[in-house]
Structure formats: C-alpha cells, structure tokens
Amino acid sequence: MSEIRQSVIFEHPLNERTRSWLRIETSLQQMSTLSPLDSLPSSLAFFRAVAEFIEVIDRGEVRSEILKELEKQQKKLAMWAEAPNADQALIRGFSDELKQKAAELSKAPRIAQHLKEDKIIGIVRQRLSIPGGCCGFDLPYLHLWLNLPQSVRDTTQAAWIEGLQPLQNALGSLLTLLRQSAPFVAAESHNGFYQDNAEGADLLRLRLPVDFQIYPQVSGHKTRFAIRFLHTDSEHGIIPATLPFEIACC
C-alpha cells in the first residue's frame, strides 16, 4: 500500500487587491491565535500583528472593496441559479450568507478605529520600530498591564478582536469562495521552470509534496505568471528535470 504524501499549498496573489486581502487575513489569524496574552513575547507578537493590520488597512478602502465584491459574488450566484439542474438550496444558502456578511460589515464602525484609539496599542505601536524598544523600562505602562489579572487582559483582548469580527467574517467568505472557484489540476515544470496564462484570475495556488523540499518563487501579475522552483538546500538540493505538481488559477 503506497504511503500518502503530505502536501503544502502555496498561494500567490495576481493583483494588489488580493495581495492586501491575504495580508489582512494573515494578521487577523495571528491576532486570533496569539491568546492568551500571558507574557511579554506573546504580547509583543500580538501587538506587532495589530500594527501590521492597521498599516495595511490604512492603505486603501478595504470595506468598500469587500462590499463591492460581496455584491458581485451575489450576482454570480443569481446567474448560476438560472443554470439547468442548479442546486437551488446550496446557491440560496451561499447567497444568504453573503448578504448577512455584507449587512454586518456595512453597519460596523470604521474598521480598526477602536484599535487606533486604544491607549495600550498606541503606546506599543510607537516603540515597535525601535530594535529592542519594548523592554520594561521603555514601556512601564505595558509592564504594569501585563501584571494585571489575566481575566482583565483576556477581556480587553476579546474586545479588540470582537470589533474586527464583521471584517473577518466577510473576508473569510470571499476568500473561501475564491479558493474554491477553481480545482487543482496536474502540471509539470521543466528544468525548474513553469509559465502560463491566468487571464481573469485573482489568485494562484500550487500544491507540492512536503518531502520534495521544493518551493515556488512566483512572478506574475494579471494575465501571465512564471514560476521558478527552488530547493531548500540551495547548494546540494536537486530540482528534477521534470517536476510534477498541482496548480489552480482562481
């Protein structure tokens, strides 16, 4: 019986909007995972994720872009519902979910405003760019906060994350639809190189076995992309002349 290989999925955005969304998703995941805040290292990792999230959010109109995309996806679902033998219940469920997420996001306060106005977050953000600038003597306010009862910190962190829930829910639905919009298909690279067209795609997804110890370096934008496959051992690792992998242009 052949052994099932563990695989890893690599993703590469093909436009700036998707690039921002993936970065926001990563920051939100880090904030949700870094709990409880029971030490200086875990707390600084959390605050760094918050700072990066705020920086990405401030670069564009994230809320309006997501609301527009939610409306666009609902129109697509309405078109699919008209197709013969369409699963009406499934489509209706997806459509209702998107409507609910859009309504919640539309009614939500300005994204990340509660984070920007928070005293603890503001104090720490000012010091994160300074190497070693978050020691106890640099941030006595944070040092005191970290010695308050854990229940106090848990309540504060929960409020920070709860304020981002409408964004996280809406973005999560969109990225799930995007990732499921195209299946993985078999492909091969030759001498470590692969290129193709991806017109109309927003996201490139690659799947390779972990034990290959090979990862992709992708360059691409909008309609065309190129992939150079590299070995983790840059000196002694070997890239097969023909490398099988799976790809999805979503």
For 183-230, how does the pLDDT look when each residue is reduced to its tens digit (9 = 90+)?
999 999 999 999 999 888 999 999 999 999 999 999 977 788 999 999
Cα(51)–Cα(149) distance, integer angstroms:
24
The one-letter amino acid at 94: F
Whether the per-residue pLDDT at 27 is higher than 60: the answer is yes
CATH class of the domain whose range is 15-178: mainly alpha
How confident is the model over 66-124, as pLDDT tens digits? Answer: 999 999 988 888 888 788 887 888 888 888 999 999 999 999 999 999 999 999 999 99
The pair phi, psi for residue 201, each rounded to 5°, is -90, 155
Whether the per-residue pLDDT at 136 is higher than 50: the answer is yes
Please answer whether residues 230 and 239 qualify as being in contact, where contact means their C-beta atoms are separated by less than 8 angstroms: yes
User: What is the location of CATH 2.60.440.10 in the chain?
Assistant: 181-247
As a whole number, mean pLDDT of residues 164-189 equals: 94
Instruction: Say whether 1 sits in a helix, a strand or coil.
Output: coil
What's the pLDDT score for residue 100? 94
Whether the per-residue pLDDT at 2 is higher than 50: the answer is no
201: closest CA among 14, 12, 10? 14
- Indicate the pLDDT class of residue 35, thresholds 50, 70 and 90: confident
CB neighbour list of residue 204: distance below 8 Å, 6 or more residues apart: 11, 12, 13, 14, 198, 218, 220, 225, 247, 248, 249, 250
How confident is the model over 47-78, as pLDDT tens digits? Answer: 999 999 999 999 878 999 999 999 998 888 88
Cα(43)–Cα(32) distance, integer angstroms:
12
Cis omega before residue 36 (within 30°)?
A: yes
User: What is the location of CATH 1.10.3900.10 in the chain?
Assistant: 15-178
CATH topology of domain 181-247: YacF-like (2.60.440)
